[in-house]
């Protein structure tokens, strides 16, 4: 697209159509940066990730996350403990940062696993169609329809020892983290699968794909080289949005005692402890929840901004839209 003849550069710019040649990534960046809320969310998440990475530093200053000090229970904020101490005298800030590591790791890993599973199944279903398609999509429908949380609780309560997994692994500390990643990926792939299937269905009918097919490209090559790269935007958006959801699920399961197990601190299991002292020290229950809330809303706003930037229908700038009569031409959210 370029400026139409007789149109001033300003009017063209207001339509989001620029005269100069702009690379796709520049255009994306420009569209994304226009959404101030999404940019703020992105900056917040980067800062949070950096703070979580620096958790050992904070631990060196204020005490290790599992260092119980029964003489310093429930202290108010001070220089020695910037956010005070919890019900066992552990430094709250250090535990929040370590909890952030867990939440971000679980969220990103599970979202990535779910995206890989969903993309593969969606590609297969959309590309081959027929029986495989209807079977996979009925399966996805059923998974979506089920009451998720009760099911996850049962899955999280399964004894790994009974599945034939050696006790040394089944009872190690880190296993609760990988197990929750696995469980969430197991039920979380459906959104991406449906999006990729939809995109594949329409992409495989395009001329360039038919041409590649006529030239003798294999099924795998058609899917991986010709179809997948064009279906990448919805995958990115859905995966970003799912990170927030996954962090919420992880915190709920950890809170109920079925997710990340103490002594590993997570925002969810910190709230379990705080709930018991809610009458004497309510602030302990405020902080971990606030971190969950801000992180999840951060990922949701970021995903929303990415969606607006990646959606080809959103080339019209928002300022131009505002001046128009309400509701005549809008982009879907």
Partner 1 sequence: MGRYLLRRASESLLVLFIMSFVIYGLLGLMPGDPVEMMVQANPNLTAGDIQQLREIHGIDRPILERYLAWLGSALSGDLGYSRLFAVPVEEVLLPRLGNTLLLMGAAFVLAFAIALPAGIAAARRPWSAVDGLVNLTAFAGISVPPFWLAILLIILFSVSLGWLPAGGMGQGGLGSTLLYMVLPVATLCLAAVGSHIRFVRAAMMEALRQDHIRTARAKGLSERQVVYGHALGNAMIPIVTILALDFGTLFSGALITETMFGWLGMGKTIYDAIMGNDYNLALVGLLLATIVVLLANLLADLAYGWLDPRVSYR
Which residues from 159-178 bind partner 1, rule CB under 8 A?
159, 161-163
User: Min. distance of Cβ 28 from partner 1 in angstroms?
Assistant: 19
Q: Is 24 exposed, middle or buried (0-12, 13-18, 19+ CB in 10 A)?
A: exposed
**46 near partner 1, rule: CB under 8 A:** no
Binding span for partner 1 by CB under 8 A among 46-54, 197-205, 218-226, 322-330: 322-330
CA-closest candidate to residue 268, choices 283, 281, 243, 287: 287
Show contacts with partner 1 in window 254-273 (CB under 8 A).
Answer: 255-257, 271
Q: Binding marks (x or -) toward partner 1, 214..253, rule CB under 8 A? A: ------------------------------x---x--xx-
What secondary structure does DSSP assign to 224-246, as a single string?
Answer: IIIIGGGGHHHHHHHHHHHHHHH
Q: What is the DSSP letter of 282?
A: T
**Does 146 engage in binding with partner 1 (CB under 8 A)?**
yes
Q: Which residues contact 152 (CB under 8 A, 6 or more apart)?
A: 183, 184, 187, 249, 253, 258
Residue among 62 and 255 whose Cβ is closer to partner 1 = 255
Minimum CB–partner distance for residue 291 and partner 1 (Å)? 10
- For partner 1, the closer of residues 184 and 203 by Cβ is 184
User: What's the CA gap between 211 and 306, in Å, rounded?
Assistant: 32
Residues 89, 72: contact at Cβ < 8 Å?
Answer: yes
φ/ψ of 34, rounded to 5, equals: -70, -25
Q: Which of residues 280-319 bind partner 1 (CB under 8 A)?
A: 282, 285-286, 288-289, 292-293, 296-297, 300-301, 304, 318
108 binds partner 1 (CB under 8 A): no
Task: Decide whether 2 or 142 has the Cβ nearer to partner 1.
Answer: 142
> If you ran DSSP here, which 8-state letter would residue 4 be given?
P
Between 68 and 321, CB nearer to partner 1: 321
Structural contact between residues 41 and 301, judged by C-beta atoms closer than 8 angstroms:
yes
Residue 17 in the binding site for partner 1 (CB under 8 A): no
What is the C-alpha to C-alpha distance for residues 177 and 155, in angstroms, rounded to an integer?
14
Q: Which residue, 33 or 144, is less far from partner 1 as judged by CB? A: 144
135 contacts partner 1 (rule: CB under 8 A): no
By the 10 Å C-beta count (0-12 exposed, 13-18 middle, 19+ buried), 121 is classed as: buried
Residues forming contacts to partner 1 in the complex (CB under 8 A) are 37, 138, 142, 144-151, 153-155, 157-159, 161-163, 244, 248, 251-252, 255-257, 271, 274-275, 278-279, 282, 285-286, 288-289, 292-293, 296-297, 300-301, 304, 318, 321-322, 326-330, 332-333
């Amino acid at each position: 697209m370029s400026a139409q003849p007789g149109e001033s550069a300003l009017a063209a710019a207001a339509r989001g159509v620029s005269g100069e040649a702009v690379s796709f990534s520049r255009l994306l960046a420009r569209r994304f940066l226009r959404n101030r809320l999404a940019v703020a969310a992105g900056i917040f998440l980067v800062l949070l990730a950096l703070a979580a990475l620096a958790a050992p530093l904070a631990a060196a200053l204020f005490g290790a996350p599992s260092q119980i000090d029964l003489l310093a229970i429930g202290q108010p904020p001070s220089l020695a403990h910037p956010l005070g101490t919890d019900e066992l005298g552990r430094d709250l800030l250090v535990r929040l940062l370590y909890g952030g590591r867990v939440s971000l790791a679980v969220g990103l890993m599970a979202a990535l696993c779910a995206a890989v599973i969903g993309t593969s199944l969606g590609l297969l279903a959309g590309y081959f169609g027929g029986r495989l398609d209807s079977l996979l999509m009925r399966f996805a429908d059923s998974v979506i329809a089920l009451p998720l949380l009760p099911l996850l609780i049962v899955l999280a309560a399964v004894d790994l020892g009974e599945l034939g997994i050696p006790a040394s692994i089944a009872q190690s500390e880190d296993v609760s983290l990988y197990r929750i990643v696995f469980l969430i990926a197991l039920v979380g792939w459906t959104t991406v699968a449906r999006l990729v299937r939809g995109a594949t269905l329409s992409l495989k009918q395009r001329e360039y794909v038919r041409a590649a097919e006529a030239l003798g490209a294999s099924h795998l090559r058609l899917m991986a080289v010709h179809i997948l790269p064009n279906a990448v935007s919805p995958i990115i958006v859905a995966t970003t949005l799912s990170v927030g959801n996954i962090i919420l699920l992880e915190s709920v399961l950890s809170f109920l005692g079925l997710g990340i197990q103490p002594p590993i601190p997570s925002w969810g299991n910190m709230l379990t402890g705080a709930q018991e002292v809610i009458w004497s020290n309510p602030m302990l229950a405020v902080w971990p929840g606030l971190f969950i809330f801000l992180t999840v809303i951060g990922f949701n706003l970021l995903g929303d901004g990415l969606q607006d930037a990646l959606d080809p229908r959103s080339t019209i700038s928002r300022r131009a839209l505002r001046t128009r009569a309400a509701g005549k031409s809008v982009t879907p959210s």
